[in-house]
Structure 1
Amino acid sequence: MLPLSETKSKKWINYLHLGERQFLKRETLIYEEGTRGTGDVYFLEKGKVKVYTAAFTGKTRTLEILHAGMAFGEQTVDKKPYFSTAIVLEDAVVYRFSSEVTKALVKEDQTFRQLMFKSLRSKLELLLNNIVLHSLPAEKILAHTLVEISKKYDNQSILPLSQHEITQYTGLTRITIYKLLKKWGPEVVKTKNKKIVITDLDSIKRVLSH
């Protein structure tokens, strides 16, 4: 049986001919928090996209790192202002479904409606998980974050994210992260060329079980 994410991705493939294929370079802004929503929906075929917000605290907070096979932007199909910003983290191939196409598909195609519903539900689950996560001790927050990001990069040991970007993702201070990385030691995780390098993922996972 295919994983749920892969199954959903295969279903999206049936609709890609209706979207506009775009090749986007790293740091390309797709949409910005506070601007009026266009009603467009996006599907990420390749690459990585970072979704973040600064609405409540004024500090940038990463909400999610999207990977291939995921849809985004669907929260503003009603054209209300975006409550987050989406920017390309790694050169990407994106399909943009215009507001008109999206509305027609939602109205006429049950499978597409289900895809939209599941995508929106996953966003709500993410927000709820983040609320629960940030009630945990800082060490567990960092451990959970590194494990989840590692999954998005196919369990690679080198994560193309800086310590500053990890700060934005976790909401922890740079000092707290520095102290935790020092506590774990380079045998578990270290930084190299301003990137996070996981040397013992199992040890990080054990932090979550204690």
Structure 2
Amino acid sequence: MTNLRYQWSPYLMYGQKMEVKKNVVVYRQGEQGKGFYYLDRGGLKIILLSANGHERTIDYVPVGMLSGEHGAYKGSYLTSAITTNPSILYYFSDEALNNICMDHPQAAVLFTNSQIFKVRLLAEVIAFQDSPVEQQMAHYLIRLHSIHQNENVPIDQTSFARYIDASRITVNKILHKWKEMGIIELSHRGAIRIVEIDKMNEIATREEESVGISLWK
């Protein structure tokens, strides 16, 4: 996934720049698509609404990535996106996408790869939703580590609990167990630093073997 970051930046001139405040819904699950977005600054969290009305945070979009690709060509948005802080987005209509692909044919491959990545994300959520919490935490922490390309993962315990759909108390206990084992360090600013990535991978690998899936290597 990391090779997709910033790859859309040469085409920002085709988009419409938007300055968006914190906690603004950029697009909503189930609505007919009107285009897609590129995160240039700030943050987006992706929410999945289940059939029973339960909301789960399933992703945090890093700067330099597309979001809402499923809304291209009037497709329905499969998830919702909400800004996590003041952000700068670029909006791309269907017409803009057509113009980009006409002027830069390689952009069509890039856009398709980004769409595939998002489908894999949803598949992963389904595959891991019934797994033990500790293994889910390890797996998603490694994925966030990979996405942000930094050993310091910018997520606090409350957000992490929502991310894996578990209680904050459960997440807190596991994080402090890992801290005592020397696997992670906890920052006062809410970040989680992975100290022993190999040990974290061992925990996550047990989960991947049990569900028979590994999407993020």
Pick which of 139-148 and 194-203 moved more. Answer: 194-203
CA drift of 1:140 comes to 1.2
**1:160-180 Cα deviation digits (max 9, x unpaired):** 433221122112333432332
CA gap 1:81/1:180 in 2 versus in 1, 3 angstroms? same
Alignment partner of 2:38: what SS? strand
Residue identity matched to 2:31: T
- Structure 1 regions of 5+ residues with no counterpart? none
Identity fraction in percent: 24
- Which residue of the partner structure matches residue 156 of structure 2? 162
CA drift of 1:81 comes to 3.8
Q: Is contact 2:38-2:91 (8 Å) kept?
A: yes
Distance 1:199 1:126 in 2: 22
CA gap 1:68/1:192 in 2 versus in 1, 3 angstroms? closer
Does residue 4 (structure 1) correspond to residue 36 (structure 2)? The answer is: no
Residue identity matched to 1:73: G
Q: Is contact 2:183-2:200 (8 Å) kept?
A: yes
- Which residue of the partner structure matches residue 24 of structure 1? 20
Distance 1:56 1:135 in 2: 16
Residue identity matched to 2:78: F
- Which residue of the partner structure matches residue 44 of structure 1? 39
Q: TM-score, normalised by structure 1?
A: 0.79
**1:80-121 Cα deviation digits (max 9, x unpaired):** 442311112244322111232224445775323222211111
Alignment partner of 1:77: what SS? helix
**Structural mapping, 1:31-70, within 5 Å:** 31-38=27-34, 40-70=35-65
Q: Is contact 1:41-1:102 (8 Å) kept?
A: no
Distance 1:4 1:149 in 2: 15
Q: Is contact 1:41-1:74 (8 Å) kept?
A: yes
- Which residue of the partner structure matches residue 68 of structure 2? 73
**Structural mapping, 1:103-114, within 5 Å:** 103-106=98-101, 110-114=105-109
Does residue 134 (structure 1) correspond to residue 129 (structure 2)? The answer is: yes
- Which residue of the partner structure matches residue 213 of structure 2? none
- Which residue of the partner structure matches residue 15 of structure 1? 11
CA drift of 1:56 comes to 2.6
Q: TM-score, normalised by structure 2?
A: 0.77
Distance 1:5 1:100 in 2: 22
Distance 1:48 1:96 in 2: 15
Distance 1:108 1:194 in 2: 44
Does residue 183 (structure 1) correspond to residue 182 (structure 2)? The answer is: no
Distance 1:15 1:143 in 2: 35
CA gap 1:77/1:141 in 2 versus in 1, 3 angstroms? same
